Amino acid sequence: MTKPQFGLDDDALAGQPTVYRPGLFADRVVLISGAGSGIGKAIAFLFARLGAKLAICGRDLEKLQATAPRLRELGSPDVFVQSMTIRDPEQVDALMDAVWTHFGQLDVLVNNAGGQFPKAAIELSGNGWRAVVDTNLNGTWYMMQAAAKRWRDHGQPGNIVNIVLPIDRGTPGAAHTGAARAGVIYLAKTVAVEWAPYDIRVNCVAPGTIESSGFQYYPPAAVERFRYSNPMKRTGSVHDIAEAVVYLAAPSGKFVNGETLIVDGGSVLWGDLWVTEKPDYFKV
Amino acid sequence: MNPKPKPKFGPADEALATMPTVFRDDLFADKVVIVSGAGSGIGKAIAFLFARLGAKLAICGRKPEKLEDCAEKLAVLSGREVFWHPMTIRDPADVDAFLSKVWDRFGTVDVLVNNAGGQFAALAIDFTVKGWNAVIDTNLNGSWYMMQGAAKRWVAQSRPGCIITITAAVDRGLTGMAHTTASRAGVNFLSKTLAVEWAPYNIRVNCVAPGAIESTGFHNYKEEHVPSFSKCNPMLHTGDVQDIAEAVVYLAAPSGKFVTGEVLNVEGGMMLWGEFWPSGKPEYFNV
């Protein structure tokens, strides 16, 4: 396998130092969507190293099947794979049933699946808008509710971590995903309250510019500027996001609920992020 | 000598020393960590966790006997050097002297945890000028003296730094504690500003904002109001001091290396649902 253009290859990812103790997720079952590449894969790698049993889903069966053996090598005692799209509520339901049948439990749901493409809002097509909202907002919601219903019905506590984006200053060049992710952030706050009686915690992690295979979808000129979009003047690593997710999912986060943990090097405070090429108007 | 009675609120030292942690044993091996207000409550829990993770600790606080007792226990937990020094963060000269001693002793510092601070419950209409000034002076001014004092030393040494301040979850205000709300909100936004200004020096600046955390700090409130604290968030229980200690470690460790200017709320969802009335709920709000 050649080194990917962006992000860490599997060996580098597997060797990232972690702050967490070995065995932290022993006997726990963690479901990660979009685990075949990028941030999702990094999250799956870290949970595997901490001993979790894993269920991974995504659209590309080949990628998932290539990832699964690696997760077992890293320490996951059982890896369940299902290809599906979170955009289809029936497929989400079938996935959840399959996970419960296979493991008899689910402890953590990491809603990582999602995506967007750079486009000035004025140019967005109806289909483009709907595709992003349908995946990032609706798909995430189907997963959240399907998991919560089963936790409620089994009388088991639950834990949801959604991967979103820092939306505090908007997301110029990606209005569709800004709307969808903001929706998820406030959805999470709302169900953090509604589902507290079921002992289900709901939180989000909002990554800023994290160098991952996802960078290939942006114009090279924009990618070159990504590291100047925060006061640290660098991009983050997929492992930074994985460690944030584990913090919230583990007992360390047991009194954190309805929170969005921003991991962005301060980009919501300073910096000018354009995922499209920066319009001349803003070159001041 | 009689054994020490178990504190009424929060874990006893023995329990604190063995609380499960998510972090690996040697995570802070030989790193130097300052914790202010480490003699009791949340500050002590933070110091205990860093000690268990191998850090060398410098602790300060106002009461020498509490610090000395805590320092002895930290040395046992860490097997490493502990420096303790009684002082108040309200006095910039005290802060300067303390930081100079710490730097002299350890050569440098890796993490500053600004935990010292306090408040008392009262309705704003009843505040005295003295009471108001005391809270602002400690929580806002004192935290600032510590932050700037540490940052100047890091810049002089061309070394990276990391500051974590314990504030409060203030997004909906904090009724019955308007003075501390103002001071903590000040620190939250001071931290965001410094996170940008001090990024060129490789200093990260973050806050942990606790909600109702059961600790010795509960003694500062009237006993009849304490039971309501476990009903002020949708989880219907209070947090424990370890929740705050683990949040601090997450931000201070390499796990937080791309996190700056952030306020991590650890409050069980209190800002989304629940009412917190540490001074008692006025009749008007009984609806």
Quote the DSSP letter at residue B174.
-
Asked if the model's pLDDT at residue A5 lies above 80, the reply is no
What residue ranges in A215-284 does DSSP mark as E strands?
236-237, 260-263
Contact A165, A181 (CB under 8 A): yes
Are the C-beta atoms of A113 and A57 separated by less than 8 Å?
Answer: yes
State the Cα–Cα distance between residues A77 and A96, nearest whole angstrom: 20
Distance (Å, rounded) from C-alpha A147 to C-alpha A106? 8
Neighboring chain B residues of A189 at a CB cutoff of 8 Å: 269, 272
Q: Which residue range(s) make up the domain with B261? A: 25-285
Which is nearest to A90 in space by CA: A159, A49, A139? A139
Four-residue CA torsion sign, B245, B250, B256, B257: positive
Which among A19, A193, A255 is the nearest to B254, CB-wise?
A19
Select from B156, B53, B69 the least CA-distant residue to B109.
B156
Residues of chain A contacting B246 with CB distance shorter than 8 Å: 247, 251-252
**What are the domain boundaries of chain A?**
10-14+23-282
The answer to whether the Cβ–Cβ distance between A257 and B195 falls below 8 Å is no
| Residue A172, pLDDT above cutoff 90 | yes
Question: Could you tell me the pLDDT band of residue B4, with boundaries at 50, 70 and 90?
Answer: low
Residue A23 forms contact with B (CB below 8 Å) = no
Cβ–Cβ gap B199/A255 under 8 Å:
no
CA distance B252 to chain A (A): 11
The CATH number given to A10-14+23-282 is 3.40.50.720
Q: Which of B23, B257, B265 sits opposite A20 (nearest CB)?
A: B23
Q: Which amino acid is it at B133?
A: N
A26 touches B: beta carbon within 8 Å: no
Look at the block and give the residue holding tokens 């360390």. Answer: A252
Nearest to A21 among B22, B192, B272 (CB): B22
Could you give the dihedral angle defined by the CA atoms of residues A216, A222, A224 and A228, in that order, rounded to the nearest 10 degrees?
Answer: -130
Is B16 within the bounds of a domain? no
Q: CA nearest A186 in B: which residue?
A: B272
Inside any domain, residue B3: no
Q: How far is CA B53 from CA A155, B15, B47, B166, in A?
A: 36, 16, 10, 20
A244 vs B contacts (CB less than 8 Å): 250, 255, 259
Three-state secondary structure readout of A91-149: HHHHHHHHHHHHHCCCCEEEECCCCCCCECHHHCCHHHHHHHHHHHHHHHHHHHHHHHH
Confidence band (pLDDT; 50, 70, 90) for B1? very low
Give residue-wise pLDDT tens across range B147-197.
999 999 999 999 999 999 999 999 999 999 999 999 999 999 999 999 999
Query: Which residue carries 């002020």 as its tokens?
Result: B232
- Mean pLDDT, residues B127-131: 95
| Residue B254 to residue A17, Cβ atoms within 8 A | yes
What is the reported pLDDT for A69? 98
A131 vs A133: CA distance, rounded Å? 6
**Which run of H or E residues covers position B209?**
strand B203-210
How many angstroms separate the CA of residue A56 from the nearest CA in chain B? 23
**pLDDT for the residue A1:** 45
Tens of pLDDT, residues A72-125: 999 999 999 999 999 999 999 999 999 999 999 999 999 999 999 999 999 999
DSSP letter, residue A174: B
Q: Which residue has the tokens 């140019």?
A: A123
| CB atoms B261 and A232 under 8 Å | no
Token pair, residue B262, equals 């952030």
Query: Into how many domains does chain B fold?
Result: 1
pLDDT reading at A3 higher than 60 = no
Candidates B236, B255, B267, partner chain A, best to mutate (most A CBs within 10 A):
B255
Residues in chain B: 287
Percent of chain B with pLDDT over 70: 98
A94: closest CA of chain B, how far (Å)? 30
Q: Per-residue b/e over B190-222, b at no fewer than 16 CB within 10 Å? A: bbbebbbebbeeebbbbbbbbbbbbbbbbeebe
Of the residues A16, A18, A19, the best mutation for testing chain B's interface (the one with the most B CB atoms within 10 Å of its CB) is A19
Kindly list the residues of chain B whose beta carbon comes within 8 Å of any beta carbon in chain A.
20-25, 27, 192-193, 195-196, 199-200, 211, 213, 233-236, 239-240, 243, 246-247, 249-250, 253-255, 257-262, 264-269, 271-273
Nearest CA in chain A to B239: A255
C-alpha distance from A46 to closest chain B C-alpha (Å): 12
* CATH at B269: 3.40.50.720
Tell whether the model's pLDDT for residue A191 goes beyond 50. Answer: yes
Q: In degrees to the nearest 10, what's the CA dihedral of A109, B241, B251, B270?
A: 60
In a domain, B151, yes or no: yes
Q: State whether A196 and B271 contact (CB < 8 Å).
A: no
Question: Is the pLDDT score of A135 beyond 80?
Answer: yes
Say which of A190, A197, A240 has its CB closest to residue B257: A240
Distance from CA of B232 to the nearest CA of A (A): 12
How many beta-carbon pairs under 8 angstroms link A with B? 136
Measure CA A267 to chain center: 18
Q: Which of B21, B192, B254 sits opposite A269 (nearest CB)?
A: B192
Length of chain A: 284
- The angle that helices A238-249 and A38-49 make with each other, rounded to 10 degrees, is 50
Provide the token pair at B258: 């791309």
Q: Which residues on A lie below 8 Å from B211 (Cβ)?
A: 255
Residue A205 to chain B, least CA–CA distance (Å): 11
Q: Locate A209 and state its tokens.
A: 């510019």
**Euclidean distance between the first and final Cα of chain B, in Å?**
51
ipTM for this model: 0.91
Of A250, A258, A265, the CB nearest to B22: A250
Of A252-261, B105-114, B218-227, B254-263, the one with minimum mean pLDDT is B218-227
Tell me whether residue B14 is in a domain.
no
User: In the prediction, which pLDDT does A7 show?
Assistant: 87
Across chain B, mean pLDDT equals 95
Any domain includes B242: yes
Residue B248 pLDDT > 80: yes
In this structure, are residues B166 and B208 in contact, taking their beta carbons and an 8 Å threshold? yes
**Could you tell me if A51 lies within 8 Å of chain B, comparing CB atoms?**
no
